């Protein structure tokens, strides 16, 4: 069985954790399928147009659905349907691998997290805003987002945390600056 992707631009930052996972675990991607061959390869992975892919991809091969472009997806879906190939989403693929990894052999792209940790999380209750673990709403929001990301293998959402200056920090710094200038005398820092 070979592994292919249904479209994919490696430059998209929302897939950085998945790309790192592939590299850490030496998972081979045998080709990236597009309607037309636009390049010979992307980061060493062959790009296949429909003509080439038709002859290479077999029904028992794995095709990961990584295309986020709706127009491209409209072209790719009928091609794979005609070959009777179901495309698997990246979260579903990750779930399969993590469920099968009973000895924590997979290297995950986030330090300190193992497959067994994610399996335990899936059977744990979803965090509740009013349990004793959270002292403020922002802590709950962060924990809730992280829980959903790892519980559902939606690693592409980790990019939500990749901000140098979150909105809350910007607002706090503006208010702090206004207070320092004496414009908000009633505000205490």
pLDDT of residue 184: 67
Inter-CA distances, 61 with 52, 57, 85, 122, Å: 15, 6, 8, 28
CA-wise closest residue to 113 among 150, 152, 158: 150
The structural domains of the chain, with segments of one domain joined by +, span 3-96, 114-153, 164-189
To the question of domain 3-96 being in CATH 3.40.50, the answer is: yes
Tens digits of residue pLDDT in 114-152: 999 999 999 988 888 777 677 778 888 888 888 888 989
- Residue 41 pairs in a beta bridge with 46
pTM of this prediction? 0.77
Which residues are within 8 A (CB) of 165 and not within 5 positions of it... i.e. 6 or more apart?
none
Taking CA 148 as the corner, what is the angle to CA 144 and CA 154, rounded to the nearest 5 degrees? Answer: 145
pLDDT-based confidence at 165, cuts 50/70/90?
A: low
Query: How far is it, in rounded angstroms, from Cα 77 to Cα 86?
Result: 9
């Amino acid at each position: 069985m070979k592994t292919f992707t249904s479209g994919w631009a490696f430059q998209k930052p929302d897939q950085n954790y998945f790309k790192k996972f592939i590299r850490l675990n030496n998972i081979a991607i045998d080709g990236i399928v597009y309607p037309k061959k636009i390049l010979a390869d992307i980061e060493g992975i062959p790009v296949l147009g429909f003509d080439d892919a038709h002859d290479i991809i077999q029904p028992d091969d794995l095709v990961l659905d990584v295309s986020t472009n709706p127009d491209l997806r409209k072209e790719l879906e009928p091609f794979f349907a005609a070959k009777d190939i179901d495309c698997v989403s990246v979260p579903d693929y990750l779930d399969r691998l993590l469920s099968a990894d009973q000895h924590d052999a997979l290297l995950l792209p986030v330090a300190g997290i193992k497959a067994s940790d994610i399996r335990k999380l899936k059977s744990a209750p979803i965090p509740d805003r009013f349990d004793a673990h959270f002292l403020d709403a922002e802590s709950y929001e962060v924990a809730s987002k992280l829980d959903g990301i790892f519980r559902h293998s939606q690693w592409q959402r980790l990019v939500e945390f990749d901000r140098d200056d979150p909105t809350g920090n910007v607002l706090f710094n503006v208010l702090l600056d206004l207070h320092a200038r004496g414009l908000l005398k009633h505000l205490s820092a």
